[in-house]
Each structure stands twice: as structure tokens, then as C-alpha cells.
Structure 1
Amino acid sequence: MRLKDQWRAALIVLAVLLCAASPASAEWRRAETAGFIVYSDGDAGVLRDNALQLELFESSLRLLHGADPAARAPRKLAIYLVGDRRSLGQVWPGIPETIAGFYRPSEDGVFAIAVRERGSLDTLLHEYAHHFMMGSSGSGYPGWFIEGYAEYFMTADLSPRRVAIGDFNKGRADWLQYGRWLPMADIVTNRPSQYGDGNAVAMYYAQAWLLTHWLMSDPTRTRQMLNYFSRLRAGESSTAALEAATGMAMAEIDRALKVYVRGRVPMKSFSAEQFPVPQVTVTTLSPGEDSLLLLNLRLSNVSNDEDQRAILLSEVRNRAAAFPNDPFAQRLLARAEIRMGDRQAGETIVRDLVEAKPDDTESLLLLAESIMTARDDEEVDHMTAMGEARRYLARAYALDDTDFRTLSMLSTTRNGAPGFPNDNDMETLLAAVEFAPQIPSIRLSTAQAHAARGEYDRAIAMLEPMASNPHGDRGSAIARTLIGSYRSRQGGETSPAAESAPAPASE
């Protein structure tokens, strides 16, 4: 073994030992409502209250956007509330110190995780506002509005009797009062990731919140905001579109905002008693799930770094070994082996799980994934493998026809087949997008299928939310490149679907 490899192996062993030596965490509980599955290793009563507040927040957002407050998305959002940033680091090793929570749409599912804040849900509500926007809008918005929208709603005051929306966050207010403002032309043009300075990032968020608040606090300005979005989709630059929509130069908007922030902040408020009281069911987890819950998230969030993947695989193997009869632990082990280790060993585990419980959707999907990802050197016939995978996917679909993973994988088994994508393929892909519009890879696959059929306007509309995501730098860049390519092929036409996208309702 080369010296470099010896050092690498030693570091992996050390990392695993350090993880194993970490003190045991408190007991995890799960609170389930109509729209959420909330996990917390904190107080059970606080967990129940948080779940109720999330349901109230969802109803409030729907009411303000002109939707049925009692309706819920087909799939529940998983949320994880942790006690400190060290727990965040178990899911995202090396997470920046300034981050207190994050939202992650992945091919395994969508989740949000945040540090519990005493007396505040700001971080969690910010992340959920992103989820709601991406789930309810068929089009993209500029980066400043995506962040400003989340900042606007995250300060919601959610009490059993009354809801108030639009208050300021003290930290953001302090930056607006004492910080050095960035030019508003930069705010409406740039993304937060373009700023390397933490102070500039903080100012970006504060000014994005203020501009959003100013536009959404007045019916006339809200109509101007909608006009601005239409102009953006017609190809105008952000500054030109905002100036034309408001009838004000950027310097005038800057002055108006500085006057606005010194006044009384207008808020929307309404009775919470108009909404039905949600049902909340709180349960404890199995020993294996309790021990490996965050490690399971980390597997869905793992980077392509070879050393990090080796560390994660070793840790999963070591910790899952303590729970040989726990389905959650064994399924996690199988998934880690299939993706990063011994695929055949992982498939053996998951086949045993399917045999023990034939109606378990998670195991059926994992078995199909293993069959579909057989290595080239395993001498597996591609068409035979895809046919076998489809049989397990059909069983999973019969159990739950709203699971986007099943639909996405069914489409993958057809990719490259004669006639792909036909009308049925498109229905499958569009159903996957309907159930998980937040997941970039599904949007990308669907857009490429549209383009393969010459449906460039639909492909562009599918990619626009990806292209405008202020945090999805790589995915955003891919989406923008494809949009440019598709527009050149269609002669520069703009998508009608994008122009009719919904926006927040004004008072």
C-alpha cells in the first residue's frame, strides 16, 4: 500500500472512531400531521407545538395566495429539529458557521433541518417558505425575490388565535440601520452566492427583505411587482424591468426604501380560528432509526468526495451492525452498500427485507435502484435488468401512486428505448414533477424530454425555477445554458406558461 493510501485509510478509521465516540443524543420523536413529518430530539411538548405552528403557517400561506387553506400537498415534508450546529454537521460535514438550517431537495426526497431556536421559528419558516414557493409556482423568480419572499414570511407570528405576517427580523433590521447598503441595482441583479464577504451577504438578505416588503405591502406596488415579473420573462434586464414597472429610477427606489424602513412596518393579520385544529400524532422511533436518523440524511446529502464517501460507508457499516434486526438500519446499510460499496451485498440485504415485508415501498424502490445500477463488469443484460426493475416499481406504484421516486425511476427504465419519450413517458415525468416540483433533477429530465419532442417552450418553462434558484449554482448554470440553447432553437419565443405563473396575492 502506498504511503498516501495508508494515510487516507488511517484518517478514515480515525474519523469513524471519533464519530463512534460521540456522546449519545436524546431520544428522537416523530410528530405527524396532514402536511408534515417533524422529527426532534427535544421536548415532546415543544415538538407538538412546532408541528401545530407549521400547519398554521401552511394554512396562512395558502390563504394569502388565494388557495384552499385546508388543502395539503400530496406528499408530506420531512423536517428535522436539532439541538445544536454539531447535529447539522452530522448531515452536512463542514457546514459554514453562519448557517443555522438548510433545505435540501434530493432524489431521495425533500427535507429541511434547523437548529431549534428558543421562542423563534425564523430559520425553519424561511426554509419552508422556499419549499412552498417552489411547490406552488410553475415559474422562476429573480434571486432577490426568492430570498426576500422567504425573509418576509419567516417572521410570522403564529398563535392559536391570530396570525400576523410581515414583521421584521431584528438582525436584518440592525443591518439596515447600521450597515453599509449595497446598490439596489446590484441586489436585483446578483445572487447572494456572488458575495464572498459575510457582511455583504447579510446586507443582501436585509435589502431583499425590504424591497419585497415594500412591493407586497401596497396593492398598487404589488401590481407593479407582477408587471416586473412579466417584463423579466419577456427578456428585459432586472433593473430595466423594475424601473419600467414602478416608474422610478433605481436611485429613487433606493431613497423610497430608506424612507419606508424608518416608518411603521405594515403587517397583514387575520384570525387563526378560521382554520380547523390540526391532528398531531407523536411517536418514538425504533432503536435503529433513533441511532441512525441523521446518518440517513447524510447519505442523501453526501458529496462526491472519495474520502468523505469512504468515511460515511465505514460509519454506516459500523453503526448498523448494532441493529441486525432493525429494518431501518438494515435498509440504510443496503443503500450505502449499493451506492458506495458492495452493490451485490446491499442487494442481498434489501431482497431479504422485501421478502420479509413485500408491501414496504422503501425496500421495493431500493431493490429497483440496485438492479438499475448494476455495474458494467457484472455482465448484467440491460434490457433484462430494466424489465426486472419495472416489476418492483410497479408494485411500489400500486402501493403509492404519488411517490415521485417511483415515477422518476420508471421513466429512467424507459430512457433510450425506441420511441422515448412517447406520450405515456411524458405523463409519467410530468406526474413526477407535479408531486415533487422542488427537485432539480426531475425538472431537468422532464425539460430534456420536452426538448427531444421539439417542445422548447415547455422545456424552458420547466427549467425557469431551476435557473433562478439563488443557491443552486451548478444546477442553475445548467438550466440557464439549456434555456439559452432552447431559445435559440425556437427563435427566442417566451413560454406562455411562465407568463401566467401565480404570485402572492396583495391585500
Structure 2
Amino acid sequence: MLFRRVILAAALSLSTAAQALAAWHEARTKHFIIYSEQRPEDLKTYAEKLERFDAAVRKVRGYGDPALTDGARLTIFDLPSVAAVQRLLPARANAAGFYIPRASGAVAFVSSRDDKSGRLLGPSHLLQHEYTHHLMLTDPDSPLAAWLVEGTAEFFGTAVVEADGSVKIGYPPQGRAQTILRDVGFGAGDLLAGTRPRSDLDRSSLYGKGWLLTHYLAFNPARRGQLDRYVQGLARGVPARQAAEASFGDLKQLDREIDRYATKKFPALQVPAGAGPTVEIRTLGAGEAAIMPVRIRVDRGLRPQDMASVSEQARGVAERYPTDPAVQAVLAEVELDARRTGPAIAAADRALASNPKHIGAMIIKGRALLEEARAKGGTANWGEVRRWLIQANRADTENAEPLFLFYQSFLAARQKPTADAVKGLYYAHVLMPHDVNLRFHVVRQHLTDGELPDALRAFAPIIANPHLEVEKRPMLLQAMQKMQGGDAPGALAAILIDYQTRRGRTDD
């Protein structure tokens, strides 16, 4: 079921007003690794609230809760202010925080101490919104419609954690009032039929009207089960309008119903508090703390114009802490980003000499060996590359990146992936379904093997992503149409053309 009914109650604002200190701390929970300069007691409270939010979403959505290793936990960098977050973004970006899904581990950048109530998307709202996306993609039956993807994220994004640990869900997103209360932008029929946005108002509707429709369907007993039937139709490849009309009936009537619903007091769900989550806090060592500014920029993704200054900073810290594995692993990644594979391998080896089980250093060395092999072409020792990636996989079998890199090594060598490589790719996708590049490879492999239903299931969330701007990538829409028409070779050709255009090359 898409929603499960739970008990109703009152609310408390989710915020942490901790004062920043110089010392960096790490909070480790079942689902999160948080780095922050908050006081340990405030960081513990912040981490507990995130865990309670996670538990509430899982309960309402009916998600499982498997054990996770570090590669699958969400890493959060809690910065001193929104201004510090925005310095990591392009010049004209104005977000209060952001989230990056990737096979190497999803990361988020926020500021829990600058959560101003007047923002369209404050840091708490934004993190909960994005984390809902993070959880939704772990569901094989993830919503396949843009309005539902964003409407569901808005539905949970405004949740508040009460003093007793319970979580209240269903608050309206205040910054979306224009599209919720006024009859502007998309209506229910446009959303359900999969109409692509043509204006900023249309795009805003995916969030505001998407929240309204999601909320209405969650609380209206007369329409119970219709949303499930709609999503099931989309999963079978039924065109959106046809699936909508078969599930909801008269879409104009539904539109009138949600317009009336927008003028009433919204009900809410309350998830009772469960057992208190376990939070482990530690103070980072001197080397880890010194390299943290570099690590934040590396995990954000280094821009070419920043490479020289960040490299100099990383080498300076590494000279002071030559045996610190955390420092040397960050230096290895900086060197690899700068395309200096030899120094990257050397730094990774120094990290592994101090800590032979440092999975981050093992993976960076594997990436560097793969890049060296790409450069050597026909003279590359692919066996050595793969042996190292297998070793990294054995060190952490639940880490997606070594599995994905192992599969990619066959494409880079222009060799057919082995059965084990394909199996590893699919398991990497199970572990880290948020990575779009990994998902594209999964779709491509399914199409290569003529597995259309599996390809369509993996591809639908890509098309449903409203941020992808598929209008600028017409081959993706053509690929979707080919899949729905049963043409696996035609869909594969369209996927490859899009991939080659994006990569600016014609290999792998």
C-alpha cells in the first residue's frame, strides 16, 4: 500500500539551535553519518530526530529496514550556515541545502543551525524532502509519475518531530500556498496524465498541486485503492492518461474535489514514537578535522577552477599527517580528480598501510587503477584491475561502488560483461538505486539482454524525474516509447545515442 493509516496528534517544530564549536564531531546512526561542529548533546538530538523521521516514513510507506554498511548510509555535512552551503553551489544558485545521490554513497549538505521559518525550503524541510526521495527509490515499486514523486516528498518533507519522539505528517508546505490555494498551474488531470511542465508555474504545480493531490488521496476513504491501481498501471507500461482514467474516473471531477479540499483544514497523521534510536558520537582526530574542509569540497565535486587550490591544501594537510588514513584517502581522491593516477595510488597505499581495512582508500585505488587501464588501452592489465575491485568488494560486500566499477571495467576494455559482472551491476542497483548513471547502465544491460519489463521498470523513475528536462533529451522519450511498444533494440539504440551525446564520445 502507498499509505498506511496511523493515529492523529499535535506538532512541534523540528529545529536545532545549537551553537557552533571549533571541534568536528561524527554522529553515527543506523541510517546516517553526520559531520558537524555542533555540541555533542545537540548533535545527538539532531541525529535522533532524523532517525525518528526515517522510522515514520518507513512505517507509513511500508518500507523494509535492512541493515546498512557505511556505503549505503546517507552522509550529511552539517555546515555553520546556509551561506556556507551556498558557497558550494554555482554562483546563481540559492538553495538552503542540497543532496547528491551516487553509487559511491549519497551525501547531503545542510545547515541545521540556520533553519529560518520564512524560507520556501528551509534546511529541515529540504533534507526531509530529499531523504524521502532517497527512501522512495529503494522501493522496487517507486512512484513512476513526476507529480507523485514530488508530491510524496512534500507530504513527508514538512513532518515535525514531537518532544515525545512521535512524528506528525501532513502539514501543508507554506511556500507552496499560491499553487495549492489558487486554481493556477496544473490541475489533477494534467498531473495524472503526465503533462510535462511548460512554465515555472507548471513546474511549481508538480510540488504544490502534487502535495495537494497526494494529501487528498491519502485521507479520502472514498478513493482508497485508486492511487495503487494508477501506479500499478504505470508500472505495466500503461500510458499515464489511460491509467489515470481507469483508476480515478472523471479527472475533471477529481480536480474539482481537490480545489474544494484546498479550502478546508488539512488533517494529519501521527506516527507514535518507537524505541529511542542509538546514536554514537565521537570527536574527529586532529588529521580528520584538518582535512574536513577539503573532504567537504571533494564530496561536493571539485570544479576545474578549484583544483589547484584544493590540491595544495590537501597536500599541505597530508604532509602534517602522513600516516593518518582518513587524510591520505582524501588526498588520494583529490589526486584522482586531478587525473594524477600515480600519486592517487601512492596516497591510497599510505592510507592502507595505516589501516588495511579502509574501504574508501581501497575503492579510490580501484578507481585509479581503472583509469590507468583506460589510458593504456590494449596494453592494460585488466586482470589486475579486477582483482583489486574484487578485493574491495570482499572487504564490504554491501558497498555498491566496487560492483559498479567491476562491471564498468568490461565496458572500458570493450569486452562483454561476464555473468558475475552483470549480477554485480544489478546488486549495486539494489544497494544504491539513487544513482542515475548506475540506473542507466542497468536499463542498458536489460535492453541488451532483451529483458523489456525489467528495463521499463528501471527506466520509468528516470523519466518521472521532473529535474531531468527530458524535453532537451528527446532520445529518452523515444526510448520510453520504444520500450512501451515492445521494441528492445530500438530502445537500446535511443539510449546509446543519448549516452554518447552526453559523454561527448562514441565508446562504452
TM-score (norm 2): 0.80
Equivalent residue number for residue 396 of structure 2: 400
- Within 1, Cα distance between the matches of 2:471 and 2:21? 35
One-letter amino acid matched to 2:348:
V
Contact 1:101 1:124 in 2 (8 A): yes
- Within 2, Cα distance between the matches of 1:339 and 1:493? 36
SS of corresponding position for 2:137: helix
Deviations 1:301-332 (A, max 9, x none): 437xxxx3142343232344134214333322
Equivalent residue number for residue 295 of structure 2: 296
Change (3 A) 1:366 1:481: farther
SS of corresponding position for 2:262: helix
SS of corresponding position for 1:262: coil
Equivalent residue number for residue 358 of structure 2: 360
SS of corresponding position for 1:263: coil
- Mapped pair 1:316 → 2:311: yes
Deviation of 1:486 after TM superposition, in Å, equals 4.1
Equivalent residue number for residue 430 of structure 1: 426
Deviations 1:473-507 (A, max 9, x none): 4699465444344455548999xxxxxxxxxxxxx
CA RMSD in angstroms comes to 3.2
Aligned length: 456
Higher relative contact order (CA 8 A, sep 6+): 1
Which runs of structure 1 show a deviation greater than 6 angstroms over 4 or more consecutive aligned residues? 416-419, 491-494
Unaligned runs of 5+ in 2: 1-19, 492-508
- Mapped pair 1:102 → 2:105: no
- Mapped pair 1:77 → 2:77: no
Equivalent residue number for residue 7 of structure 2: none
Deviation of 1:128 after TM superposition, in Å, equals 0.7
Equivalent residue number for residue 341 of structure 2: 343
- Within 2, Cα distance between the matches of 1:476 and 1:39? 37
- Mapped pair 1:56 → 2:61: no
Deviation of 1:224 after TM superposition, in Å, equals 1.2
One-letter amino acid matched to 1:56:
R
Unaligned runs of 5+ in 1: 1-23, 495-507
Compare 464-473 and 373-382 and name the one that shifted more.
Answer: 373-382
Deviation of 1:172 after TM superposition, in Å, equals 2.5
Equivalent residue number for residue 168 of structure 1: 172
Contact 2:291 2:317 in 1 (8 A): no
- Within 2, Cα distance between the matches of 1:391 and 1:491? 33
Once the two structures are aligned, what percentage of the paired residues are identical? 24
SS of corresponding position for 2:250: coil
Where in structure 2 are the equivalents of 1:76-475 lying within 5 Å? 76-94=73-91, 96-97=93-94, 99-116=95-112, 117=115, 121-159=124-162, 160-173=164-177, 176-177=180-181, 181-184=184-187, 185-188=189-192, 189-190=194-195, 195=199, 197=200, 201-250=203-252, 252-272=253-273, 275-293=274-292, 295-302=294-301, 308-324=303-319, 325=321, 326-374=324-372, 381-382=379-380, 384=381, 386-415=382-411, 420-473=416-469
- Within 1, Cα distance between the matches of 2:471 and 2:299? 17
Deviations 1:21-44 (A, max 9, x none): xxx984332111111112223343
- Within 2, Cα distance between the matches of 1:279 and 1:376? 44
Change (3 A) 1:149 1:313: farther
Change (3 A) 1:190 1:31: farther
TM-score (norm 1): 0.80
One-letter amino acid matched to 2:156:
F
Contact 1:334 1:350 in 2 (8 A): yes
Compare 225-234 and 47-56 and name the one that shifted more.
Answer: 225-234
Change (3 A) 1:239 1:446: closer
One-letter amino acid matched to 1:322:
V
- Within 2, Cα distance between the matches of 1:409 and 1:165? 39
Contact 1:139 1:462 in 2 (8 A): no
Contact 1:487 1:493 in 2 (8 A): no
Deviations 1:432-465 (A, max 9, x none): 1111111112122122222222222222222222
One-letter amino acid matched to 1:336:
V
